[in-house]
Amino acid sequence: MTNMTMIEAIRDAMRCELERDPTVMVFGEDVGHVGGVFRATEGLQKQFGATRVFDTPLAESGIGGLAVGLGVQGFRPVAEIQFIGFIFETMDQICSQAARMRYRSGGRYSAPIVFRTPFGGGVKAPELHGDSLEGLMVQTPGMKVVIPSNPYDAKGLLISAIRDDDPVFYMEHLKLYRSFRAEVPDEPYTVPIGVAGVVREGSDVTLITYGAMVHTAVQAADELQRTRGASVEVIDLRTVMPLDIETLVTSVKKTHRAIVVQEAQRTAGVAAEVIAQVTEEAILHLEAPIMRITAPDTVMAFGQIEEEWLPSVARIVAGLVHVLDF
Amino acid sequence: MEAQHAAGSWTEALWRRCYETVVRARTYDEMAHVLQRSGKVAFHVSGIGQETAQAAAACALNTETDLFFPYYRDYAFMIALGMSVDELMLSLFLKAADPNSGGRQMVGHFGCKRLRVFTGSSPVATQIPHAVGAAYAARLRGEEAVAFVSFGEGSSNQGDFHEGCNFAGVHQLPVIFFCQNNRYAISVPERWQVAGRIVDRAHGYGFTGVRVDGNDAFAVYDAVRTARDRARAGEGPTLIEAMVYRIQPHSTADNDLLYRTREEIEQHRARDGCSAMRAYGIEAGMWSMAQEDALRAQCAHALKQAIEYAERAPYADASTLCDHIVAEGGQR
């Protein structure tokens, strides 16, 4: 066990897999010599050589296409897209090439690629750096979408993603990179893709979220416990595609109330999908409509008003109170 | 032509393989057009006018080791690699047994693991960085392979062309970029697509560029063979610009007389590489009109059988809709 930040856990996952599997490769802009703009890949080129861990030219579509070419050749590329907003430069290669390779070839080829990218609000990274674009990826058949909230899950989920035979979009929340440490096993281990985690058990209302919002949600749950004695069950989705509906429905059948919190814009996102599916499965168990606490449908706010734009403890508490008093 | 043949790079067997491929592709293509016009199939996109360049390029490659990233007009290229007319017909009829995609893609979107052909798709030039990645993979494995990627001149304006060429140049990868300049991107003529010459872009990427007459099989063969030798010797990629002409409209859904004249088409038809190859073969004593008739009869027979086979073949069952989204047993 080592006490690690999330970025250290992410680096450790890549190190473990580069060591274990000679087909694993790591590349992207600035990931080689300097180890990435956030240092997620620091030291990996030195340890594994510049053939397997390398800097690419500044060209995201080329990175995506290179990964597809390596993937269909039996390699397992871990391609870093330097910031979430730069995926727009390579949407074709990610969404229409990598994600559809298996389908398009009738199962004859696959593209086992991990696209890693930092994202998320709360550190005053402006638009195209802090956006939450998981909704675009969730609507991409063939793509799995993973968003860890802590160092332990980050390592286990990244190892699962690298070992997965299909492409995985792995989103790393900027605010969580270095905000806290946790015990992480030194050896390789997996956290399964598609399984949510119950962060805290509760009986009165279910609070469903993912990424950095897990921590905001826990604060909100604490506050509600303190102010009303309400018991909030907090669930961390960990994977937003595929969704672990079973865990969500089990919880909602117990609490009869739920809210969903996401940093992303409101419309047609993960929260909307969670609500739709939980409602389909458990409407007769619900005592109140399921609420969404989200960012508004705008471009990501500039830094000065970021805290207003993002879901806050106060907004989540208000949502919980609304649902409890409905 | 005579000089190159006399130089000894072509045997009679090679000429025959190349020419027969061109004729098989041409007759297939013409039949596909008839099938579309008679309502038997929904759509066809033609490679007529480009077969000589395609067949000659394929003949210069190693079909046992190389990695192929063709584009949607590469019928002659695919036939030269070993795709049968039966298989092309299954694809044209969008049937389940189509080896390219099981009827899941448009026609001409090739992909065949048996033939080392990687699955391409409709947004043009996306296959270019794939070829570059595959070349990187081949080098990592220490394999003999050269990645060969073909595309039209329209594709040369996409970012993926530039990004792929640039990476291949930086890493001196074994890639042959084969641009079939057929002068039109659907309706947009070459002069509104590029200000300079596509071949000259190679210099900007730090590798060799060669422009050849795509109707001249010998010239194309030499260019591709030289590029392959260079790639194998670790001397990096080559951009080949084969000058051809798209004799047919872009597709069966296009009216090309809205943007070009019959006279222009006829001028280019007169320079068709297929006729030139035949004339050369006859003059060199390698071919006769009797052999030509026999080949055409054989093609017609094979096409008839392929059509009957493809018409009878089943479509992919609706129950397979969810197949191949993710790995079998994988979560979705």
Closest-CA residue of chain B to A59: B163
State mean pLDDT over B26-32.
98
Nearest to B126 among A73, A93, A194 (CB): A93
Q: How far apart are CA A22 and CA B156, in angstroms?
A: 34
Contact A109 B113 (CB under 8 A): yes
Nearest to A59 among B101, B105, B163 (CB): B163
pLDDT of residue B331: 53
Q: What percent of chain A has pLDDT over 70?
A: 100
pLDDT of residue A164: 97
Helices (H), A49-108: 60-72, 91, 101-104
Q: For residues B286 and B7, which has the higher predicted lDDT (pLDDT)? A: B286
Confidence of residue B2 (pLDDT cuts 50, 70, 90): very low
On the question of pLDDT at A102 being above 80, the answer is yes
Confidence of residue A249 (pLDDT cuts 50, 70, 90): very high
Query: Cβ-count burial of B277 within 10 angstroms (0-12 exposed, 13-18 middle, 19+ buried)?
Result: buried
Q: What percent of chain B has pLDDT over 70?
A: 97
Closest-CA residue of chain A to B96: A106
Least Cα separation, residue A40 to chain B (angstroms)? 23
**Cα angle value B313/B314/B319 (rounded, 5°):** 160
Q: Is A137 helix (H, G, I), strand (E, B) or coil?
A: helix
On the question of pLDDT at B123 being above 60, the answer is yes
**Cα angle value A66/A58/B67 (rounded, 5°):** 20
Reduce the secondary structure of chain B to three states and give it as a string.
CHHHHHCCCCCHHHHHHHHHHHHHHHHHHHHHHHHHHCCCCCCCCCCCCCHHHHHHHHHCCCCCCCEEECCCCCHHHHHHHCCCHHHHHHHHCCCCCCCCCCCCCCCCCCCEHHHCECCCCCCCCCHHHHHHHHHHHHHHHCCCCCEEEEEECCHHHCHHHHHHHHHHHHHCCCEEEEEEECCEECCEEHHHCCCCCHHHHHHHHCCEEEEEECCCHHHHHHHHHHHHHHHHCCCCCEEEEEECCCCCCCCCCCCHHHCCCHHHHHHHHCCCHHHHHHHHHHHCCCCCHHHHHHHHHHHHHHHHHHHHHHHHCCCCCHHHCCCCCCCCCCCC
Q: How far apart are CA A248 and CA A251, in angstroms?
A: 5
Task: Please give the ipTM for the structure prediction.
Answer: 0.90
Q: How far apart are CA B111 and CA A81, in angstroms?
A: 28
pLDDT of residue B330: 62
pTM as predicted = 0.93
pLDDT of residue A179: 96
B258 reaches A (C-beta below 8 A): no
Nearest to B163 among A65, A100, A141 (CB): A65
Amino acid at A239: T
Kindly report whether the peptide bond that precedes residue A242 is cis, defined as omega within 30 degrees of 0: yes
A242 reaches B (C-beta below 8 A): yes
pLDDT of residue B322: 86
Confidence of residue A245 (pLDDT cuts 50, 70, 90): very high
Contact A69 B132 (CB under 8 A): yes
Contact B330 A92 (CB under 8 A): no
pLDDT tens digits along A32-91: 999 999 999 999 999 999 999 999 999 999 999 999 999 999 999 999 999 999 999 999
Q: What percent of chain B has pLDDT over 90?
A: 90
CA nearest to B2, candidates B285, B288, B289, B291? B285
Closest-CA residue of chain B to A166: B326
Q: Are strands A24-28 and A53-55 parallel, antiparallel or unpaired?
A: parallel
Nearest to B166 among A59, A144, A194 (CB): A59
A289 reaches B (C-beta below 8 A): no
Q: How far apart are CA B275 and CA A300, in angstroms?
A: 61
List CB contacts (< 8 A) between B123 and chain A. 92, 96
- The answer to whether A147 touches A238, Cβ cutoff 8 Å, is yes
Tokens read off for B220: 């194309």
B204 reaches A (C-beta below 8 A): no
pLDDT tens digits along B216-243: 999 999 999 999 999 999 999 999 999 9
- The answer to whether A312 touches A263, Cβ cutoff 8 Å, is no
Confidence of residue B8 (pLDDT cuts 50, 70, 90): low
Backbone angles phi, psi at A184, to 5 degrees: -130, 130
B116 is catalytic: no
Tokens read off for B9: 């790079």
pLDDT of residue A313: 98
Q: Please, what is the average pLDDT of chain B? A: 94
A248 reaches B (C-beta below 8 A): no
Amino acid at A153: D
- If one counts every other C-beta atom within 10 angstroms of the C-beta of residue A22, the result is 12
Beta bridge partners of A197: A236
On the question of pLDDT at B6 being above 60, the answer is no
Domains by residue range for chain B, with CATH: 7-330 (3.40.50.970)
On the question of pLDDT at B329 being above 80, the answer is no
List CB contacts (< 8 A) between B126 and chain A. 65, 92-93, 96-97
Q: How far apart are CA A114 and CA A102, in angstroms?
A: 15
Contact B134 A107 (CB under 8 A): no
On the question of pLDDT at B7 being above 50, the answer is no
CA nearest to A65, candidates B178, B152, B124, B303? B124
Nearest to A165 among B104, B133, B330 (CB): B330
Residues whose CB falls within 8 Å of the CB of residue B189, separated by 6 or more in sequence, listed in order: B183, B259, B260
Least Cα separation, residue B308 to chain A (angstroms)? 23
State mean pLDDT over A22-28.
98
First to last CA, chain A: 45
A298 reaches B (C-beta below 8 A): no
- If one counts every other C-beta atom within 10 angstroms of the C-beta of residue B322, the result is 11
Amino acid at B161: F
Confidence of residue B1 (pLDDT cuts 50, 70, 90): very low
Q: What are the Cα distances from residue B37, in Å, to B44, B93, B262, B310, B313?
A: 10, 14, 20, 17, 21
pLDDT tens digits along B125-178: 999 999 999 999 999 999 989 999 999 999 999 999 999 999 999 999 999 999
Closest-CA residue of chain A to B125: A65
Q: Please, what is the average pLDDT of chain A? A: 97
State mean pLDDT over A245-265.
98
Return the beta strands (E) in chain A as ranges: 2-4, 24-28, 53-55, 76-80, 114-119, 144-146, 168-173, 182-184, 197-200, 205-209, 232-236, 239-241, 258-265, 291-295
Nearest to B137 among A70, A92, A109 (CB): A70
- The answer to whether A119 touches A172, Cβ cutoff 8 Å, is yes
A90 reaches B (C-beta below 8 A): no
Least Cα separation, residue A114 to chain B (angstroms)? 14
Contact A69 B136 (CB under 8 A): yes
pLDDT tens digits along B247-268: 999 999 999 999 999 999 999 9
Ranking A166-170, A211-215, B323-327 by mean pLDDT, the lowest is: B323-327
Least Cα separation, residue A122 to chain B (angstroms)? 31
- The answer to whether A121 touches A175, Cβ cutoff 8 Å, is yes
Query: Cβ-count burial of A57 within 10 angstroms (0-12 exposed, 13-18 middle, 19+ buried)?
Result: middle
